Amino acid sequence: MLSVIHTHLESVSSRLCYATVLRFINSSSSGPRSSPERIMKAFCSLWLLLSLVELSPAPPASQEPPLVCRGATDPAPPQPETQEDMASTGDLEPTHFPARRAAQVALHHLNTLHGSPFRVFGLQQVHKASAEDVAAGGRKYSLDFSVTDWASGSAGPALRCSAEVMFPRTQQHSGPEVQLRCEALQQVSSTAEEHAFYQKYVTPDSAVSAQHLPDSYGNMSEDMQPFWRLARVAASFIMLRESSENTEFNMVQVASITQQESSEKQLMLDYVVLLHDLPSQEIVQWKLLVSWSPDRGVRVLQTEWQPRCPHATKPPN
Amino acid sequence: MRLYLAVFALLAAVHCEELINGDQVLRINAESEDHIQILKMLERDVDSGLDFWTHGFSTERPVDIRVPHSSLHAVKDFLKKNNIPFTVMINNVQELLVREREEMARNAEVERQTKGFDFAAYHDLETIYNFMDTLVASHSNLISKVNIGSTYENRPMYVLKFSTGGEKRPAIWIDAGIHAREWISHATAVWLADRIATDFKENRAPVPSILSKMDIYLMIVANPDGYVFTHRSPNEFYRLWRKSRSATSNPKCQGVDLNRNWDAEFGGTFILLFSLVATDPNGFALLNVPTFSLGPGASDDPCAEDYRGPSAQSEIEVKNIADFIMSHGNFKSFMTLHSYKQLLMYPYGYSGTDAPDRTELHDVASQASKALNSWHGTVYKVGSIFHIIEPASGASVDWAYQRGIKYSFAFELRDTGEYGFLLPANQIVSTARETWYALRYIMQYVCDHPY
C-alpha cells in the first residue's frame, strides 16, 4: 500500500512536499511536533489538496472563448504532471507516447515549412529519442525519426529526419520551438501538379466551396484532395502553436471550405477544421484564413477558436 | 500549332510517376484524320507520361489512354479544345487495383451465406442487428445471439456466442464500438463474425480446433446509443460522438466515456491518502473536505470526452458487460477493438508499473502484430496502454486483467492519423483481415495455454 501511495505522491507533488508528507507517514505519530514541522505539514497538505483540484483549463493564448453550447471544453487543457513526466529525461522509449508526441510536433513544424496541396508528411516511426530539462523549466527532446508523404500513398519513400523540440514551461502557454533537418528534402521544387492546381483555381470566377472533407464514410472526391491537404498544412500551424507535452493533435476533418477572392495572386481559402487531441480525446474547432501559391507556400493569416455548437445544425428527423 | 507546343511543354514538364494513384483511363473516339494525327503526336511524345493501352489508331475503334493524375486537366482541356470526344473509362486506376485485389480476396473465400451483405461499407445499427440475425440463422449449429441487457435509451445489447457445446467452456471475449465514432471497429467486428463462422463451416484451421475447446463471444456494438447518435447527422457533433448518451449532472452535456467507467482504479489512490491525513491524531482537521477522484487520464467534467461518470459502472452498458462476464466466470481472454493509431496494447492503463504478466503479454502482442503485418504490411506498435497511448484509468482491459483474465488486449485499428476516425470504407476489409490474423494468433495462443 505504501508503494501505491509513493506512486501517487510522486505524480502530484513536488519533491519537497513529497518528502515532507512521506516523513509524516513513515514516522510514528507519537510525541509533540515542532512548530515549523506543523506549518510545513499544513502547507504541504494544503498544497496537495489544491494541486488535486482540477482547475479550469486556460483558453488558448489567442483569445477567450465564450462559454456557449457545451461549457468548458477548451483546447489543450493542461494536465497534471504524471509519473511518466517525472521520469522521462534521458533516453526515451521510441514507441512510448512522450517521444511520439514530440515527434508529432516536429512533424507539424515540417509541414508548415514544406507542406503543400500535394505534400503532407506523416510520422512513420521514431528511431531514437531522449529528453533533458533545460534552463527556465523547459524540456528539450532530441529525436531521430522517419516520415512519409501521405500524398504518395503507401508506396512512397520514407525520409529520415532529426529534430530538437523544446517545450517551454511558462505561466502563459507558448508554443514549442523546433529545429529540424531531413535528408533528401527538396527545398524548392513546387511541382507541375501544384502549378496546374494553382492555375485552375486562382482564376477570378473560381468559388470552391464544400463541407465535410472527408464525409462520415471517409469519402472525398479526388478534386477536393489538394484542398484537404492544404487545410492539413494550415492546421499544422495551429497544432504546432497549441502543442505541449500533454497534447497530441491531429486533424480529423475539414468541416468546411469557402474560397475567397484571390488577393495578390494567392489562393485565399476560409477553412473550418476539426482537430483531435489524443490525451483528452477532445475535438477542437478552428477557423482559419489561409493563402497559398506555389511560390509563397502556405500562410495562415487569421485563426479563430470556435466553440462546438449542436444547436447550429439540427439533425434531419 | 502553338497550342500543341504549349501542351507538349506542359506534359514534358511532368516527370513520369511510378505511382498510379489518381490516374484515369480515358477512352477516346477519334472522328477524323486530324484527330488521328493528334493522337499519333501524343503517342510519340515519350515525356508526356501518357500510357497508351491501344496501339494503332483508326476512327473505327476507341483508343484507351492511361493519363497520369498530374496531367489530367491539361490533357482533358487539350482534347476538348480539339473537339476530340472522350469518356472517363476508369476513374481512378489505383483505387481500382486496390478494389480489385480486395474483390479477388473476397471471391477466393467461400461463398457467404449472408444474403449479399456488403462488408466493404459502414452500416447503421439496424442493418448490423439484421446481419446478426441472418448470421445466426445461417449458422444455427454454431452461433446464438445473447441479449445481455438494455442500454440507457433502452436498446438491446447483443453478444454473438460461437460455441460447439459444453457447459461454460473457457471463453474468449471480443468487443467493438465502445466508442461510438470509431466506426472501423464495428465494421471489423461484422467481418470477423462472418469470417469465424465461415472458417468453422469450411473446416479451416485453427478455428474448428479452437472452438472444440473454447467459446467465442463477440459483441459487435458495445455502445448502441452512441453509434445511433453518430448516424443522426453528418455534423461533426454527431459523427464524432464518443461517449454513451446518458444524462449527466450537467443538462448541457450528455454521456460518459464507457472506457473510463470500469471498476479499475476508477477513483484513483488519493482517497486512501486523504483518510490518512484526516485521521492525524494531532488533530489536523481535514475531515470535512470532499475527496477528489484522481484516476489519471479521465475527467470529472460531464462535458469532457473522457468523463469517467459519477461512479464505477454507473453506466448501464458497462454494468451489463461486467455482470455478464463475472457471472459467466470462465473467460480466459478479453479483447477490445478501438481506433485509431495502429496499436496493440495490454494492461495497465492506469499506471506505468509493469503488469505481473507483462513479459508474456508483450511477447504475445508482438507475435500477433507480426501476423497482422503479414497481410498488408501495416505496422502496429506494441506496449502497455499507459506507456504507448496515454495514462487511462477505469479502462475495460485493466478491469478484465484485475479479475484474473490474463490475456487482455486492446487494439487501436487503422490508421495513424491521415483519416483517423473517418477511415474510408474501402479500407474496411483489409483492416478486418489483418486484424483477424492478429486475433487468430492470440486465440490460438490462449487455447494452447490454459490456466
Across B366-386, average pLDDT: 96
Of the candidate ranges A196-205, B102-111, B120-129, B379-388, the one whose mean pLDDT is the lowest: B102-111
User: Measuring CA to CA, which residue among B243, B218, B217, B249 is closest to residue B228?
Assistant: B243
Q: What is the mean pLDDT of chain A?
A: 79
CB-CB neighbours of B221 under 10 Å: 26
Contact B303 A73 (CB under 8 A): yes
Q: What pLDDT shows up at residue A53? A: 47
Q: What pLDDT shows up at residue A88? A: 63
Say if CB A305 and CB A63 are below 8 A apart. yes
Set of cell numbers at residue A59: 483558453
Residue A58 vs residue A183, higher pLDDT: A183
The residues, any chain, with a CB within 8 Å of residue B318's CB and separated by 6 or more, are: B258, B261, B262, B396
Which one-letter DSSP state was computed for residue A203?
A: S
Q: What pLDDT shows up at residue B193? A: 98
Chain B, 185-214: which have a CB under 8 Å from a chain A CB? none
Across A307-312, average pLDDT: 64
Contact A274 B236 (CB under 8 A): yes
Choose, out of A217, A225, A273, the residue to mutate when testing the contact with B (most B CBs < 10 Å).
Answer: A217
- For A18-36, b/e burial (b = at least 16 CB within 10 A) is bebbbebeeeeeeeebeee
Say if CB B354 and CB B384 are below 8 A apart. yes
Say if CB B401 and CB B355 are below 8 A apart. yes
Q: What pLDDT shows up at residue A60? A: 46
Q: Which residues of A touch B230 (CB under 8 A)?
A: 216
Residue B257 vs residue A30, higher pLDDT: B257
Q: What pLDDT shows up at residue B48? A: 73
Confidence of residue A117 (pLDDT cuts 50, 70, 90): very high
Q: Which residues of B touch A1 (CB under 8 A)?
A: 272
The residues, any chain, with a CB within 8 Å of residue A134's CB and separated by 6 or more, are: A140, A166
Q: How far is B234 from chain A (nearest CA, A)?
A: 6
User: Does residue B397 carry a pLDDT above 80?
Assistant: yes
Say if CB A259 and CB A209 are below 8 A apart. yes
Set of cell numbers at residue B362: 508483450
Residue B313 vs residue B116, higher pLDDT: B313
Q: What is the pTM of this model?
A: 0.74
Q: What pLDDT shows up at residue A153? A: 76
Chain B, 334-363: which have a CB under 8 Å from a chain A CB? 341, 351-353
Pairing outcome for strands A249-263 and A209-213: antiparallel
Chain A residue with minimal CA distance to B91? A222
Give CA–CA dist A310/A316, Å, rounded: 13
Q: Please report the ipTM that was assigned to this predicted complex.
A: 0.75
Q: What pLDDT shows up at residue A23? A: 57
Contact A278 B389 (CB under 8 A): yes
For the beta sheet containing B51-52, the strands, ordered from the edge strand earlier in sequence to the opposite edge, are B51-52, B63-67, B24-28, B86-90
Fold of A83-306: Nuclear Transport Factor 2; Chain: A, (3.10.450)
Across B426-447, average pLDDT: 98
Across B292-306, average pLDDT: 84
Confidence of residue A170 (pLDDT cuts 50, 70, 90): confident
Of the candidate ranges B35-39, B284-288, B351-355, the one whose mean pLDDT is the lowest: B284-288
Q: Which residues of B touch A212 (CB under 8 A)?
A: 234
Question: Which residues is A313 bridged to in the sheet?
Answer: none
Which one-letter DSSP state was computed for residue A119?
A: B
Q: What pLDDT shows up at residue A155? A: 67
User: Does residue B287 carry a pLDDT above 70?
Assistant: no
Residue A87 vs residue B375, higher pLDDT: B375
Q: What pLDDT shows up at residue A72? A: 37
User: Does residue A310 carry a pLDDT above 80?
Assistant: no
Q: What pLDDT shows up at residue A52? A: 46
Handedness of CA B237, B239, B244, B246 (dihedral sign): positive
SS3 B288: coil
Q: What pLDDT shows up at residue A31? A: 43
Q: Is B412 a catalytic residue?
A: yes
Across B271-275, average pLDDT: 43
User: Measuring CA to CA, which residue among B92, B54, B48 is closest to residue B71?
Assistant: B48
Contact B233 A315 (CB under 8 A): yes
Confidence of residue B69 (pLDDT cuts 50, 70, 90): confident
Q: Which residues of A touch B301 (CB under 8 A)?
A: 54, 71-73
| pLDDT per residue as tens digits for the range B151-205 | 999 999 999 999 999 999 999 999 999 999 999 999 999 999 999 999 999 999 9
Contact A218 B424 (CB under 8 A): yes
| pLDDT per residue as tens digits for the range B223-244 | 999 999 999 999 999 999 999 9
Across B321-349, average pLDDT: 98
Q: What pLDDT shows up at residue B438? A: 98
Contact A93 B268 (CB under 8 A): no
Q: What is the mean pLDDT of chain B?
A: 87
Q: What pLDDT shows up at residue A50? A: 52
What is the residue extent of each domain of chain A? Answer: 83-306
Q: How many CA atoms lie within 13 A of A76 on its CB side?
A: 24
Q: Is residue B421 less than 8 Å (CB to CB) from chain A?
A: yes
Handedness of CA B71, B72, B73, B76 (dihedral sign): positive
- Specify which of B20-24, B36-40, B214-218 reaches the highest per-range mean pLDDT: B214-218
Question: Which residues is A274 bridged to in the sheet?
Answer: A253, A285
Cis ω before B300 (30° cut-off from 0): no
Backbone angles phi, psi at A17, to 5 degrees: -65, -35
Q: Which residues of A touch B427 (CB under 8 A)?
A: 218
Counting one residue from chain A and one from chain B, the pairs whose CB atoms sit within 8 A come to: 190
Count H helices and E strands in chain B, helices first: 15, 12
Say if CB A165 and CB A108 are below 8 A apart. no
User: Does residue B437 carry a pLDDT above 50?
Assistant: yes
Q: Which of B167, B412, B418, B434 is catalytic?
A: B412
% chain B with pLDDT above 70:
84
Of the candidate ranges A136-150, A173-187, A211-225, B167-181, the one whose mean pLDDT is the lowest: A173-187
Question: Which residues is A42 bridged to in the sheet?
Answer: none
% chain B with pLDDT above 90:
67
Across A195-203, average pLDDT: 95
